[in-house]
Amino acid sequence: MAEGFARACGSDVLIAESAGLAPAIAVSPLTHKVMMEKNIDLGHMYPKGIAALKGRFDLVVNMSGEEVPKSIKAPVEEWDVRDPIGESEEVYREVRDQIEQRVMGLVLAMRGRKPPQSEGQPNPGTTRVDSQGQPPRK
């Protein structure tokens, strides 16, 4: 859900990648349903393990309730979000709405950040890339 909201609402300021410490076989049908109610199609997404993520990250949002592996070298923001698996459709909606609020708060905060230098240019010697080693989208 978080990756879906981040891609739909914040692609101008972030590149979202999601993974779990214990990924499922597939995205839950209820997850697909409640996200489609927000016009976000997760059909192309699938659960990945944290080992599938490559590259450097500026921020990790942890919703697992577990400790992030030490191999992840990035600041970690902890979000206390209920896991809706096995719960009612209404719980899925509540979790979806909570995640949407948090993601939008993060997106707005990132939009409000000032560029590293007054000219808006990156710091010398710093190259930003996404998890596949590609430069960020403009």
Residue 115 pLDDT greater than 70, yes or no: no
Asked whether the predicted pLDDT for residue 45 surpasses 60, the reply is: yes
C-alpha atoms less than 13 angstroms from C-alpha of 62 in its C-beta half-sphere: 15
Asked if residue 126 has pLDDT above 50, the reply is no
Average pLDDT of the residues in 98-127: 73
Q: How confident is the model at residue 90 (pLDDT cuts 50, 70, 90)?
A: very high
* Mean predicted confidence (pLDDT) in 27-39: 95
Which residue is it, tokens 């010697």?
125
Predicted confidence (pLDDT) at residue 136 exceeds the cutoff of 80: no
| Banded model confidence at residue 121, pLDDT cuts 50, 70, 90 | very low
- What is the full DSSP assignment across 17-55? ---BSS--SS--HHHHHHHHTTT---TT----BGGG--S
pTM, entire model: 0.77
Average pLDDT, the chain: 83
Provide the pLDDT for residue 93.
98
pLDDT higher at 120 or 80: 80
What's the average model confidence in pLDDT over 29-36?
Answer: 96
Structure tokens given for 120: 């808006």
The tokens for 87 are 């719960």
Region 40-62 average pLDDT: 85
For the 2-111 domain, the top CATH level (class) is: alpha beta
pLDDT tens digits for range 60-86? 899 988 888 888 888 999 999 999 999
